[in-house]
Amino acid sequence: MYEAMLSENNIRLNACFTSKDEAIRACGELLLKTGYIEPGYVDAMVQRDSISTTYVGNGVAVPHGTEAAKPLVKKTGLAIIQVPGGVDFGKGRIAKLLIAVAAQGNEHIDLLTNIAQICIDDAKLNKMLKAQSTKEIMDVIRTMEKQ
């Protein structure tokens, strides 16, 4: 399932950002570069976080676009950015892992459920935070498919 939604080209390690907007835009650029979204979706991702934070806890943020931007999604996809130094999503919420979602229809519900499983599994989350290669991130994601 994830092979069609996430490739090593959609993963960036050891990133550093000065703001959450910069971090969210970087997520959107990965989705755009790999053909999952139209350019306007990136702005919708920033807008969505300004409406309600996309920080979900445990050092993880899940940037995604607004409902109105769904037509800008070409196909369902993910992008993952590891931010070892963290990026402030406001009120002291520091995200060290960004899992961006672009989904058509209701496909995002299953995706978000699986992302939540990563967030509450400290061992998997730590593997992703400490990964030294995109392959290591993909290996953790693949374990989600087997559950």
Q: What is the pLDDT along the chain (147 residues), one digit of tens a residue?
A: 566 788 899 999 999 999 999 999 999 999 999 999 999 999 999 999 999 999 999 999 999 999 999 999 999 999 999 999 999 999 999 999 999 999 887 766 777 777 777 778 999 999 999 999 999 999 888 877 655
Alpha-helix runs per DSSP H in the chain: 2-5, 20-33, 40-51, 107-120, 122-130, 134-145
Global pTM reads 0.93
Cα dist. 79→2, 16, 36, 91, 106 in Å?
11, 16, 10, 24, 18
12, 64, 96, 108: the catalytic one is 64
| 141 and 6 Cβ atoms separated by less than 8 Å | yes
CATH assignment of the domain containing 26: 3.40.930.10
Q: Which domain holds residue 71?
A: 2-145
Is position 64 annotated as part of the catalytic site?
yes
**Number of domains the chain is built from:** 1
